[in-house]
């Protein structure tokens, strides 16, 4: 038996309870978690913004140590450190054939499987494939990536979502170039990773935008050169910081219609706006046809940072080893499983960066 945070029904609070895990079968790996990040996507799954089969163990951003492997698993062995990959690509669908593995049509097929049971015998699904809100988990071998040398195991959990997403939004989706100006909307875990990534890319000016004045220190430590408190005048303030032009790139990490619209309004003519935040269906963003023509801006969605985890995790590890990427600086709170509901409340209130469940 292991302890896990279980979502019994959509909208219900998570319950920390005992879970019975099976031994790993063919092609499976059992992992003892060192840490799991509390991501806004977990909140979106729990409140129904995103769909998930229930009851389920949520948590998709994690790292740990391999405990056992099933038949046919050769890429990792017991004792190896690994990063969980919640969106493994199948390699055979249309998107994978195009090299766009982050859009894999079959990446989340495993989320509908039964992977464990409660002590009372209730079937459980693995939220977003990996069920990281638990002391241990059993996942397909495709859901684990060997942890590169030089990356602390606990901090490595952040590579599984926040850092891949923030880094990819800057480097793969927006393709920020040295000397460009960047605005990042939302200073949570992903936003902080995007700020660090913009600094790594050599951006000349990096503007962080958030509703909370308390996050300014975090933002500047991550690389922000300027900090703007979100308001009705945000776009005007950003244009004032950029010679009345607007930034070359805006990265939206919130997922709200008003923030997406403000990010668009904050970019220069011909600029790029990348939307990372996951919003609900009721969040409608409107544009008129003339402004789309006149401004010549690009508005792009961004899934999992448009990353290939197998390719990008080693790159990120090199940035960590070189001191360019500080994973620990993204973490503002280290908690136990029982602290996840409070971490959700902090997200809703716009407080803090990344909460990290440490086992």
CATH of the domain at 21: 3.90.180.10
Q: List 227's β-bridge partners, or say none.
A: 208
Outline where the chain has alpha helix (H): 40-46, 94-97, 162-168, 189-201, 216-222, 234-241, 257-266, 289-295, 309-321, 340-348
Domain contains 279: yes
Spatial contact of 337 and 343, defined as CB atoms under 8 Å apart? no
Domain contains 213: yes
Query: For residue 206, what is the domain's CATH number?
Result: 3.40.50.720
- Whether 48 and 107 map to the same domain: the answer is yes
- What does the pLDDT read at residue 103? 97
The pairing of strands 205-210 and 226-229 is parallel
- Whether 205 and 281 map to the same domain: the answer is yes
Whole-structure pTM value: 0.95
- Whether 93 and 16 map to the same domain: the answer is yes
The number of C-alpha atoms within 13 Å of 100 and in the hemisphere containing its C-beta is 9
Q: Write the CB contacts of 33 (distance below 8 Å, at least 6 apart in sequence).
A: 62, 63, 64, 132, 134, 135, 136, 137, 359
Question: What is the mean pLDDT, run by run of 10 residues, along the chain of 359 residues?
Answer: 95 94 97 96 89 94 98 96 96 97 96 93 95 98 95 95 97 98 97 98 98 96 98 98 98 96 98 94 94 97 96 96 95 96 90 92
Range of the structural domain that residue 39 is part of: 2-147+327-358
State the CB neighbour count (10 A cutoff) for residue 292: 12
- Whether 68 and 198 map to the same domain: the answer is no
- Whether 95 and 179 map to the same domain: the answer is no
- Whether 183 and 82 map to the same domain: the answer is no
Burial classification of residue 269, based on how many CB atoms lie within 10 Å of its CB (0-12 exposed, 13-18 middle, 19 or more buried)? exposed
Counted domains in the chain: 2
- Whether 170 and 293 map to the same domain: the answer is yes
- What does the pLDDT read at residue 59? 96
- Whether 25 and 55 map to the same domain: the answer is yes
């Amino acid at each position: 038996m292991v302890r896990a945070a279980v979502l019994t029904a959509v909208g219900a609070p998570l319950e920390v309870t005992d879970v019975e895990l099976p031994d790993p079968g063919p092609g499976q790996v059992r992992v003892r978690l060192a840490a799991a990040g509390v991501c806004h996507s977990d909140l979106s799954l729990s409140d129904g913004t995103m769909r998930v089969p229930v009851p389920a163990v949520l948590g998709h951003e994690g790292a740990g140590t391999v405990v056992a492997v099933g038949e046919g698993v050769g890429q990792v062995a017991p004792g190896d450190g690994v990063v969980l990959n919640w969106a493994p690509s199948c390699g055979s669908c249309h998107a994978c054939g195009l090299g766009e593995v982050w859009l894999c049509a079959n990446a989340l097929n495993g989320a509908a499987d039964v992977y464990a049971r409660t002590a009372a015998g209730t079937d459980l699904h693995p939220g977003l494939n990996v069920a990281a809100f638990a002391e241990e988990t059993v996942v397909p071998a495709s859901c684990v990536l060997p942890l590169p040398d030089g990356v602390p195991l606990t901090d490595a959990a952040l590579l599984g979502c926040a850092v891949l997403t923030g880094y990819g939004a800057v480097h793969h989706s927006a393709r920020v170039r040295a000397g460009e100006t960047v605005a990042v909307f939302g200073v949570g875990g992903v936003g902080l990773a995007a700020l660090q990534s913009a600094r790594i890319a050599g951006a000349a000016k990096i503007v962080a935008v958030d509703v909370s004045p308390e996050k300014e220190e975090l933002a500047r430590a991550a690389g922000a050169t300027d900090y703007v408190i979100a308001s009705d005048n945000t776009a005007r303030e950003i244009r004032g910081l950029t010679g009345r032009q607007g930034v070359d790139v805006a990265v939206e990490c919130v997922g709200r219609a008003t923030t997406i619209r403000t990010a668009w309004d904050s970019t220069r003519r011909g600029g790029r706006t990348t939307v990372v935040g996951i919003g609900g269906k009721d969040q409608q963003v409107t544009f008129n046809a003339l402004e789309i023509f006149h401004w010549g801006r690009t508005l792009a969605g961004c899934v999992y940072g448009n990353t290939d985890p197998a390719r990008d995790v080693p790159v990120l590890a090199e940035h960590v080893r070189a001191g360019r990427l500080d994973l620990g600086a993204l973490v503002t709170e280290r908690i136990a499983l029982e602290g996840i509901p409070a971490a959700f409340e902090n997200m809703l209130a716009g407080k803090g960066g990344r909460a990290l469940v440490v086992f």
